[in-house]
Chain A
Amino acid sequence: MGNKKQKAPARSLVLQRRETMVSYLFLLPALFFFVGFVITPMAMGVITSFTDASFTNPEGTFVGLKNYTRLFQDKIFLKSAVNTVIIVVVSVPAVTAFSLWVGSAIYKMRSGIRSFYRCVFYLPVVTGSVAVTVVWKWMFDKYDGLLNYIVKALGGQPLPWTSSEQMALWCIILILFTTSIGQPIVLYVAALGNVDASLEEAAKVDGANDFQVFWKIKWPSIMPTTLYVAVITTINSFQCFALIQLLTSGGPNYSTSTVMYLLYDIAFKTTKEFGYADAMGVVLAIVIALFSALQFKVMNGGTTE
């Protein structure tokens, strides 16, 4: 009996080690892709950002921080950076608040109706950014677009939409908004549905009103979802690219150019300076990391402690 008692932990350790090995084996394919398609390009990007690599000189020579100092003297980069920040600052709270509102409104509905709303809001997400942007482009058309047709029908003057420096960025934000709310709404519906009903009932028995129930019971319970939504929307907003490329190409007069778009423009379209474009990418990655860290900090890592 005594021997059996001593051997049991040893066997368990061996088993544990083998299970760990098997787990790592299962992780290996994902790790392979992660290293090959995320870590390696990222490292290459950082290294290239310290060189003058370009289309004519793909290897490049080491130039230290020259690309980084140039960034802050580049008026177009600064304008693109401001546009990027505007997109993030406007779209993240708007997407989060709207998704929470829609989620709150539909999560208690009958399952058929709830599914209908989830489909409606999720449709732009699964449609694909190119198709969505092309449809929006038709709607924004200055001459024959649906929006100006409505404006004219209401007796107004046609608006320039994406042709206007003042309006174009807001058009981009509007499309980004419509394509960003689908996933957060689905997540909020699920998260709100998982809030412990007994807590709500107890709070109501104790005399809490609807606002107090929401603020003291539901909000803390869905905090991890809110953090996820905020971080993902922030990253997507920072990386907004396809719809700008398809809709405005960064114009008019760089009014819709973002860091992500400018990076592509520099690397593939205009001067083809890979080192300089990579420096933009590195700065963008750092800013995204800082924003995400800030969100974690402000939201206490998704907890209410």
Chain B
Amino acid sequence: MKKVLSTVLATALVATTLAGCGGSKPAETTAAPAASEAPAATEAPAGDASSDVTEIVWWAFPTFGVDTGYEQELVDAFNAAHSEYKVKVEYIDFTSGPDKLTAALTSGTAPDILFDAPGRIIEFGNAGYLVSLDDMLNELKPDLTSESLVETCVGADGTAYMYPISSSPFYMGLNKEALEKADALQYVNLEGDRTWTTENFVKMCEALRDAAPTQVPAIVYCGGQGGDQGTRALVNNLYSSSITDADGKWNIDANGVKALELLKSMYDSKALDAGFDMAAADELQKFQQETCAMTFCFGTSSEVTYASEDYTQIAVPFPSDDGVPSLEYLVNGFCVFDNKDEARAEGAKEFIKFICDDAEWGPKSVIKTNAFPVRKSFGNPYEGDEHMAMLASWSQYYGPYYNTKDGFAAMRPLWFNALQQVFNGTPAQDVADEFNTAANAG
């Protein structure tokens, strides 16, 4: 009896444990690429007798905003209009999402669709994880607001991997009341497109330091790569340098060194501070809390996310020696992962067309990204909004797009570490030499 009981117990333990292992349905939905000859992912909803429904998984970063529910609205609308597909949305965040993507791609459990920006998408495309979207992009080209948008969507071999929906510049944000208290508003150009000079930027920071309406005038964050385009834009604009040279290699040139030296001298004189343990999100929080009077990572989304009722935000382009800025910009778009299943890929393409091109949902989606449409046919969805009109006009200052260049991902940690070294006293030229060697080593 004891023996039988032991055997039954042991078997039950094994059975329940193994059952526990296999209980994760979501993994199945995002999982295992089906063999090319295998039928489409046809997991029909419970109670549905039909097996012709292709299930598509969409991993969504909060580009449409955090917890807005807009993604589900889109999915419901698409599912209602296309009974042959069933889209399932899964939410990921910008902190852990990139790691999850890397793990999913290398283990063959990728989703079908991702909404992201070119930096990651083109990296995935160049690595062979994406489906070509040449047909869709070719169709879209005549309607694009700028030809230069094409280069943000294609990989090293010219294959289109991203289907763009919206775009917006990155710029600086200032605290109007803090500047007024420090009598520093005089150095900022609030007329026209608000371009201004390096000289006035330095004077503004010094005035803020002397009057101290905030704890520090500014924080050059350099503790991580989150939002690092802001600090690159700052450095590159101060003396009109570029992060890539004429041959397309990563390069901090002589003017870049001059800009780093200027920032170091401002750091030494307390006209700005260095955020060694801060990424852009931390700096934006400090801006919102009025610890500093400006941010170097403002954009159409962060204006909303980090809004405050206690002060007035002023958006300005980055200052430059000649008064002509070269702005970094964001392009939002979709990619389709190659899960070796044509039906899923076709369904995914159909869905992203629905989000981006549908007469009703297309313009709505653009507005939800807080950015500007990349389709001429959408016109101006922010009619009557002067502020958005001004930001849209800054597209004339868009600089070269380097996020899709080889070695971009490896360059980013070198960049923030280079800033740390400069602020810690290593000569800027030595830092630049080391950066140029390491960034091009791959």
Contacts and interface: CB of A to CB of B under 8 A. Distances in A.
A217 B216 CA distance: 59
Interface of A: 18-19, 22, 25-26, 28-29, 32-33, 55-56, 58, 140, 142-144, 160, 162-165, 168, 247-249, 251-254, 265, 267-272, 274
B223 A251 contact: yes
Interface of B: 3, 6-7, 9-11, 13-14, 17-18, 98-99, 102-103, 105-106, 123, 126-128, 215-216, 222-225, 274-277, 279, 286, 289, 291, 409-410, 412-413, 416-417, 420-421, 424, 442
B105 A55 contact: yes
A29 B413 contact: no
A95 B389 CA distance: 60
Contact of B10 (A25, A162, A248): A25
A251 B417 contact: yes
Contacts of B99: 268-269
A143 B216 contact: yes
Contact of A18 (B3, B13, B274, B289): B3
Nearest to A251: B223
16 contacts: A22-B10, A25-B10, A25-B13, A25-B14, A28-B10, A29-B13, A29-B14, A32-B14, A55-B105, A56-B127, A142-B277, A165-B424, A249-B277, A251-B224, A268-B102, A271-B442
A271 B102 CA distance: 12
A267 B99 CA distance: 9
Contact of A28 (B14, B223, B417): B14
Shortest 7 CB-CB contacts between residues of A and residues of B: A25-B10, A252-B276, A29-B17, A163-B276, A56-B127, A162-B277, A22-B6
B277 A248 contact: yes
Given A29-B17, A251-B420, 19 more contacts: A18-B3, A25-B11, A28-B10, A28-B14, A29-B18, A32-B14, A55-B105, A56-B128, A143-B215, A143-B291, A160-B276, A163-B275, A247-B277, A251-B276, A251-B277, A253-B417, A265-B413, A269-B225, A271-B442
Contacts, number: 99
A123 to B, nearest CB: 25
Contacts of B417: 251, 253-254
A252 B420 contact: yes
A55 B102 contact: yes
Contacts of B277: 140, 142, 162-163, 168, 247-249, 251-252
Contacts of B10: 22, 25-26, 28
A164 B223 CA distance: 11
B291 A55 contact: no
Interface centre among B98, B127, B225 (most CB of A within 10 A): B127
A33 B13 CA distance: 13
Contacts of A251: 222-224, 276-277, 416-417, 420
A269 to B, nearest CB: 7
Contacts of B410: 270-271
B291 to A, nearest CB: 5
Given A143-B216, A143-B291, A164-B276, A252 B223 contact: yes
B250 to A, nearest CB: 14
A25 B11 CA distance: 7
Given A25-B10, A251-B223, A251-B277, A270 B412 contact: yes
Nearest to A272: B102
Contacts of A18: 3
Contacts of B102: 55, 267-268, 272
Interface centre among B225, B277, B291, B420 (most CB of A within 10 A): B277
A272 B413 CA distance: 12
B420 to A, nearest CB: 5
A66 B52 CA distance: 50
Nearest to A265: B413
A55 B127 contact: yes
Contact of A26 (B13, B105, B291, B420): B13
Contacts of A267: 102
A249 B223 contact: yes
Contact of B106 (A29, A58, A142, A160): A58
Given A26-B13, A55-B106, A272 B409 contact: yes
A142 B409 CA distance: 29
Contacts of A274: 106
B128 to A, nearest CB: 7
Contact of B7 (A25, A32, A142, A253): A25
B276 A162 contact: yes
A301 to B, nearest CB: 33
A196 B35 CA distance: 66
A279 B237 CA distance: 41
B338 to A, nearest CB: 14
Nearest to B127: A56
A6 to B, nearest CB: 23
B276 A144 contact: no
A117 to B, nearest CB: 33
Contacts of A26: 9-10, 13
Contacts of B7: 22, 25
Contacts of A164: 276
Interface centre among B103, B105, B289, B410 (most CB of A within 10 A): B410
B421 A253 contact: yes
B100 to A, nearest CB: 10
B98 A144 contact: no
Interface centre among A22, A140, A144 (most CB of B within 10 A): A22
A163 B274 contact: yes
Contacts of A162: 276-277
Contacts of A143: 215-216, 286, 291
A162 B279 CA distance: 13
